[in-house]
Amino acid sequence: MSGATVIRGGRVITATDDYVADVLLDGGVVRAIGTALEVGPEVARVDAAGLYVLPGGVDTHVHMENVIGPTITCDTFASGTKAAAFGGTTTVVDFALQTEQDSVLGALARAQRSAEAQVNIDYSLHCIVTRVDAQVLADVRHAMRHEGVTSFKMFMAYPGVMMADDAAIFQMLRQVGADGGMVALHAENGTVIDLLIQEALEAGHTSPRYHALTRPAILEGEATHRGIRLAELAQAPIYFVHVSSNQALKHIVQARDEGIPVFAETCPHYLLFDDSVYSTDDFEIAKYVMTPPLRTPDDQKHLWRALRYDDLQVIATDHCPFCMKEGHLGYRLQKQRGKDDFSLIPNGAPGIETRMVSLFDIGVMQGRLSLNRFVQLTSTTPAKLFGLFPKKGTIAVGSDADVVLFDPTATQTIHAHELHSNCDYTLLEGRSLRGKVEKVFLRGELIVDGPTWRGREGMGRFVPRGEVRAF
């Protein structure tokens, strides 16, 4: 256990505040905030003049060691959470996958066993529910009451693998909502998408760009609308993951205007890139094969508007990394698996280490987001929505001492080989970004010190979560 630390003279930014102060970290929590705090000689001192003092980022959508068909995401809990830390994120919420072989509770126990010896930062879990029956509903209730897991993900895509039917989704919405939790939905019309994929392959279209062409935005919009109406009938809140298009967004905006508790996230890649990357048959564009695919510049415009006006509440990464080079670090059946069939390319991209700095650059520095809104989207609201606040997501007396010192004047150029993920590429290769994470504290302990890693595997803790707090 580390001793106390006082952070001197930094500019403290929360979702609501912006002031210069000293912040005392002691016993794993923020002990005091004030001007010229008096501390003893045993207290470590960190000069934060000219730096932002931010609450540690909260990323509520990541995939470590996520088995997808015959392959697995290339970040372990160790590598992925170390990358998160260097990017200024101190809490992640990953996914435990219910399979045919085990229950909801079995899935959670399996994920925790894998995570607990490896995690470098604090974490929690959603559970992906793929089937619903009386036993599953009983397990879900037990998980919410006794395991600190209050959110569950369901898929409207990937038939025969993870897709749940509308009745199953409705049952989950009704029970989880009544018990104070949240169902998160992956909204795409999976059966129509599968038909479009089959037709494309039969026509000889095998290149990665057909991934985007067979997952049109209108099918994201249709599924989003359907999910909202199921939630309305169930009288339950609902959360949509990785919203990419105005086709989906317009239904979310309408529902929120009607007073329905609908919440949603987007991801940095939908703000940084558009569908122009799919204009070639070159296999290199497999790095942009994620679900949903990248959309149009007009969709981007609507996403930014929604972020400003709170129709989107969270920016998460959907960090789901697969290597471009087959065999990198021993990983097999990665992106190259789909060399001759785009439908076999594992869907997903890395992004956990670059979330905060890329959003600072394209959001704050370009005048699209205020500093307070930046913190709100990347830390405070995700913590509130998923039952982590005020332990996580803010700098306040009594909150966990998860603190990031951020230099807004620094510039860095992003290269995959300098990042800490196991993935062999970054979508931001060679891009110059303004802003840099300088130091990161987890529960008061310094884990990132410039380029130096001071954390250790297994120091992260599982964080039991409470009820939804955002409305």
Cα 182–Cα 186–Cα 192 angle in degrees, nearest 5: 145
Mean pLDDT for 164-168 is 97
Structure confidence at residue 195 (pLDDT)? 98
What Rg do the C-alpha atoms of the chain give, in angstroms? Answer: 21
Mean pLDDT for 443-459 is 98
Please state, rounded to an integer, the average pLDDT across all residues of the chain: 96
Same fold, 5-54+395-453 and 56-385: no
Structure confidence at residue 69 (pLDDT)? 84
Q: How many CB atoms lie within 10 A of CB 309?
A: 10
Note if the bond before 346 is cis, omega within 30 degrees.
no
- Read off the pLDDT band of 469 (50, 70, 90): low
Chain segment 387-438, per-residue pLDDT in tens: 999 999 999 999 999 999 999 999 999 999 999 999 999 999 999 999 999 9
Question: Domain 5-54+395-453 belongs to what architecture?
Answer: Roll (2.30)
> pTM above the 0.85 mark?
yes
Q: Are 209 and 281 in contact (CB under 8 A)?
A: yes
Examine the pLDDT at 186 and tell me if it is beyond 90: yes
User: 56-385 — its CATH code?
Assistant: 3.20.20.140
Side chain identity at 300, as an amino acid letter? Q
Structure confidence at residue 26 (pLDDT)? 98
d(CA 413, CA 434): 9
Mean pLDDT for 78-82 is 98
Examine the pLDDT at 183 and tell me if it is beyond 80: yes
Mean pLDDT for 211-231 is 98
Residue ranges of domains in the chain: 5-54+395-453, 56-385
Structure confidence at residue 1 (pLDDT)? 38
Under DSSP, is residue 236 helix (H, G, I), strand (E, B) or coil? coil
Question: 167-170 long-range contacts, Cβ below 8 Å, gap at least 24?
Answer: 167/132, 168/129, 168/131, 168/132, 169/227, 169/230, 170/230, 170/233, 170/234
What DSSP string runs through 300-342? HHHHHHHHHTTSS-EE---B----SSTTGGG--SSGGGGTT-G
- Read off the pLDDT band of 466 (50, 70, 90): confident
Mean pLDDT for 228-243 is 98
Examine the pLDDT at 221 and tell me if it is beyond 90: yes
